[in-house]
Amino acid sequence: MPGESLKKTLSPMMLWGLGVGYVISGMYFGWNLGFKEGGTLGMAIAIGFIVVMYAAFSFSYAELACAIPKAGGVFDYANRALGKDIGFIAGMAQNIEFIFAPPAIALSIGAYFNLFFPSVPVLAIAIVAYLLFTGLNIYGVKAAATFELVITILAVAELLIFAGVTLPHFKAANLTNNPLPHGWAGMFACIPFAVWIFLGIEGVGNVAEESLNPQKDISKGFGSAIITLIVLCGLTLVAAVGVSGWEAIVYKTGTTESSDSPLPLAMARIVGDNSFLFHMLITVGLFGLVASFHGLILAGGRATFEFGRIGFAPQFLGKINGRFQTPAYALLVNMLIGIVALVTGRTGDIITIAGLGALTLYIISMVSLFVLRNNEPEMTRPFRVPLLVIATFSIIVMSYYNFKLALIYFGILAVAFLIFKIAKRNAV
């Protein structure tokens, strides 16, 4: 649907807010489940590899977004560089990431909110969050991005406060306690949770079409966002584990049940669970979760919209709401699929499937980057950077250690691709 276009309203500051906001929930939950697999040493090594991958990926993806500022992100890049078949696979991987990541975050929103109101079911809170923030995204991108910027700033401030309260109680011995609970193999099992910490930053590329000056603003948004996130990652994880060791932030107090709210567990060890600081952490921590939840809904809507606009999915998904000029139909379909995933309640599995989608996206992006540099050197690029291929190793390891989930993920890709080919053949 070439006539459908999105409004240009996003400034560099808003792009920073979106970039950090997409990811910041990864600082609030999810990562702690990696310590159960690999301990402090295994998780630290996994995070080190993933930080290098994301730093290189962010600048390379920014190059692609500047050269091809379209809402489809990797789908548009791969479609141009590698053809429609690979473009379809890239787009499906991106859709899986952006559709499966929000349900995991919604469950954590429910878990944090449930600490205040234990009588309200986690699932009910999560579904209400989906309805509320899908509605906000339908209302308008500028309002959505402004909201995202405000709550992202609050979420960053809260992480800094958390570090300020916990770091004075840091003990180095807590970092070396049971550092490899499952041996070196546990380090590989940590990878999905290390990826989760930064998963979603590529969503900045999906709003390139709506930025005021894509060739200048996208690179600023990506660069400032990834630097902010690396600093916050180091501070938050060291501060949380340094209080009482990794077991204290993986398991709910007095149980062997995994927790979706590690920062309150660490804070409670210092100030108790009835103090002002504890309740402030939960309250503002919700903003961090909401920032990522809301931001990924925004990016996912654009990715699905582009899929429909180009004709790779039902065309109604590629239509813009006449009143609000937003991809309302794509947002609503994504919400319905996300709510179905919510009902499973399996946060770790949802995170892993989203991570597999992300790594597939990264690998295809890298190949597309090299092909476009070779085939279309005249394309507008504010900068050029080298790129590492850690993602290839990561997806192999993730698939090995999560074989059943990998079968589900690749099965979804295979079925979708088969339907795409049949539909394409029938259309000719």
Average pLDDT over residues 75-85: 88
- Rank 141-145, 208-212, 219-223, 332-336 by mean pLDDT and report only the highest: 332-336
Q: Supply the DSSP symbol for 316.
A: G
- Is residue 382 very low, low, confident or very high in pLDDT (cuts 50, 70, 90)? low
As a whole number, mean pLDDT of residues 120-134 equals 91
> Does 407 have pLDDT greater than 90?
yes
Q: Which two tokens stand for residue 64?
A: 């692609």
Calpha distance 156→20 (Å, rounded): 9
Query: Rounded distance, CA 281 to CA 161, Å?
Result: 9
From 244, 112, 93, select the one nearest 172 (Cα to Cα): 244
Look at residues 54, 352, 71, 23 and name the one whose alpha carbon lies nearest to residue 200.
23
Give the Cα separation of 59 and 57 in Å (integer): 6
If DSSP codes are grouped into helix, strand and coil, which group holds residue 289? helix
Does the structure show a pLDDT above 70 at 381? Answer: no
Residues 250, 228 contacting (CB under 8 angstroms): no
What per-residue confidence (pLDDT) applies to 237? 94
Q: State the Cα–Cα distance between residues 220 and 145, nearest whole angstrom.
A: 16
With beta carbons less than 8 A apart as the criterion, state whether 336 and 127 touch: no
pLDDT at 2 (0 to 100): 46
pLDDT score, position 169:
94
User: Mean pLDDT across the stretch 15-22?
Assistant: 88
Tokens 């947002």 sit on residue: 331
This prediction's pTM: 0.80
Query: What are the CA-CA distances from residue 267 to residues 165, 338, 379 (Å)?
Result: 8, 31, 50
Average pLDDT over residues 80-109: 89
Asked if pLDDT for residue 282 goes beyond 90, the answer is no
Highest mean pLDDT among 106-120, 216-230, 373-387: 216-230
Average pLDDT of the residues in 216-237: 89
Nearby residues of 185 by Cβ (< 8 Å), 6 or more positions away: none
The mean-pLDDT minimum among 88-97, 246-255, 377-386 falls in 377-386
pLDDT of 64 reads: 83
